[in-house]
Amino acid sequence: MVGPRTQPESTIECQRFRIHLRSLEFVNQSLKEFELNEDFKNFSFLAKQARQNFITEVFINKNHSPLFRLIPITKQESNAQENEDKMTKAEILLKIEALLEQLCKNTQKKYSGLKAKKRSELLSILQEVKSLFISNNEDFLE
């Protein structure tokens, strides 16, 4: 007769996980692509500045869709964000539309009339759509 299956203690589970990571040589991988962005060292300052900008835009300027920018953590994210800043309005539209095609119809409807938007608004929408796309993919993988 076999009894009910029990879960291992947390310390045993942690040890197994560490062994698994070592077997994959996860710890010894090159981390060049994950180098921290230099600006990330000033995260508190950047977060405070972003919060002040948000408050100014929403409450003082009465702008309902403030430009929200993610704070880049890695150099790769920083480079991608800089490249987006240099993109033309047409390039931003193409990138948004490409991401929207992979999302549900309700989300696509929410972002209709993009061609009439200003470039700064499109950059904000691009960040929103990217976040939605990433969260949808994470939900799919789980």
What mean pLDDT do residues 25-43 have? 64
- Based on its alpha-carbon atoms, the radius of gyration of the chain, rounded to whole angstroms, reads 21
Residue 103 backbone class (left: φ over 0; alpha: ψ -120 to 50; beta: rest)? beta
Q: 40: Cβ–Cβ under 8 A, 6 or more apart, which residues?
A: 46, 71, 72, 73
Residue 116: predicted pLDDT:
92
Of 2-11, 48-57, 76-85, 104-113, the least confident: 2-11
Strand partners, 74: 36
Domain boundary among 45, 62, 86: 86
* 60/50 same-domain check: yes
3-state secondary structure of 6: coil
Higher pLDDT, 61 or 97: 97
Q: Residue 9: inside a domain, yes or no?
A: no
Domain span holding position 138: 88-142
* 66/92 same-domain check: no
* 52/64 same-domain check: yes
Q: Residue 4: inside a domain, yes or no?
A: no
Higher pLDDT, 120 or 136: 120
CA 91 to chain centre: 20
Residue 96, number of CB atoms within 10 A of its CB: 20
pLDDT at 31 over 60: no
Q: Residue 76: inside a domain, yes or no?
A: yes
Q: Residue 94: inside a domain, yes or no?
A: yes
What mean pLDDT do residues 34-48 have? 74
* 55/101 same-domain check: no
Most confident of 41-45, 116-120, 129-133: 116-120
* 78/112 same-domain check: no
Question: How many domains does one find in the chain?
Answer: 2
| pLDDT tens column, 52-92 | 877 887 788 776 655 556 677 777 777 877 788 788 898 89
d(CA 114, CA 69): 19
* 139/109 same-domain check: yes
| Percent of the chain residues topping a pLDDT of 90 | 6
Residue 117: predicted pLDDT:
92
3-state secondary structure of 141: helix
Amino acid at 99: L
* 93/66 same-domain check: no
* 61/106 same-domain check: no
Of 31-40, 88-97, 112-121, the least confident: 31-40
